[in-house]
Amino acid sequence: MNAATERRQIEGPAGPLELAIDRPQSAAGGLAILAHPHPLFGGSLDNKVVQTIARALLSRDMVCIRPNFRGVGGSQGTHDHGHGEQDDLWASWAWAEATYGAAVGPKRWAAGFSFGASITSHVVHDWQTGRAARGLAALPLSASVLVGLAVDRFPPAPIDQRTHLIHGAQDDVVTLDSVFAFAAQYRRPVAVLPGAGHFFHGMLNELRDMVVHAVARD
């Protein structure tokens, strides 16, 4: 994302897992893990939308960690249709807590884009309900940001009031109506960016501002 971005590999469930790590210039208020879009369609930690979300959360003094799912970039393994990818996020969280947890503030935010947003929703749901929380259940997960949620391609988990949904009004990959229908089940609002498509081309600055606004009180 910038010259200060660190890349490293950690032990993952399917072999080495590649991470990109960005740290705020001031004291860190917490940790954020960000998940990228579908690996079989070019998704990676370098995706511009994911980088934009990271910039937004970095401006809120979060240590931002972007893993490459298995089989992408320097991450070993093969695509597992969303199942093993959840394990990749759990491994990223466990490493982040062991590495930074004692030195940063208490906030824990999860975010994802498209396929990554759906994967994030499952990790968040299991964490918040105490199911399969991989030893992290006692830690507070205070917010999640799901951008371009792939509701009709990889079904997300149930969400609650700590989840923020952001979608492009002109998304031609995941329709806005399908996201509205999903959000209505849980009585959650959807922040809509007029004129934006699925990848927010030409509107990344506006997306960044929406992410910052979404977590302003978390």
Radius of gyration of the chain from Cα atoms? 16
Q: Is residue 16 part of a domain?
A: yes
* CATH number assigned to the domain comprising residue 173: 3.40.50.1820
Q: What is the mean pLDDT of residues 127-152?
A: 81
| pLDDT in the model for residue 135 | 64
pLDDT at 140 over 90: no
pLDDT in tens, 46-57: 999 999 999 999
> Which pLDDT does position 145 carry in this prediction?
98
**Domain of 161, in residue numbers:** 6-214
Predicted structure pTM score: 0.96
User: Do residues 28 and 62 make contact, with C-beta atoms less than 8 angstroms apart?
Assistant: yes
Q: What is the pLDDT of residues 195-206, one digit of tens each?
A: 999 999 999 999
Residue 145 domain-assigned (yes or no): yes
In a domain, 46, yes or no: yes
Q: How confident is the model at residue 141 (pLDDT cuts 50, 70, 90)?
A: confident
Tell whether 81 is covered by a domain: yes
What pLDDT, in 10s, does the model give residues 66-107? 999 999 999 999 999 999 999 999 999 999 999 999 999 999
- Domain assignment present for residue 1? The answer is no
Q: Across the chain, what does the average pLDDT equal?
A: 94
Angle CA(43)–CA(18)–CA(27) in degrees, nearest 5?
100
How high is the pLDDT of residue 218? 87
134 — pLDDT class (breaks 50, 70, 90): low
pLDDT tens by residue, 101-126: 999 999 999 999 999 999 999 999 99
Domain annotation covers residue 25: yes
Residue 150 lies in a domain: yes
Per-residue model confidence (pLDDT) at position 77 = 98
On the question of pLDDT at 10 being above 60, the answer is yes
Residue 132 has pLDDT above 70, yes or no: no
Side-chain half-sphere of 114: how many Cα atoms within 13 Å?
Answer: 22
Q: How many folded domains does the chain comprise?
A: 1
DSSP string for the chain? --TT-EEEEEEEBTEEEEEEEE--SS---EEEEEE-S-GGGT--TT-HHHHHHHHHHHTTTEEEEEEPPTTSTT--S---TTHHHHHHHHHHHHHHHHHHGGGS-SEEEEEEETHHHHHHHHHHHHHHHTSS-TT-TTS---EEEEES--TTTSPPPP--TTEEEEEETT-SSS-HHHHHHHHHHTT--EEEETT--TT-TT-HHHHHHHHHHHTTT-
Percent of the chain with pLDDT over 70: 95
Tell me, yes or no, whether 169 lies in a domain: yes
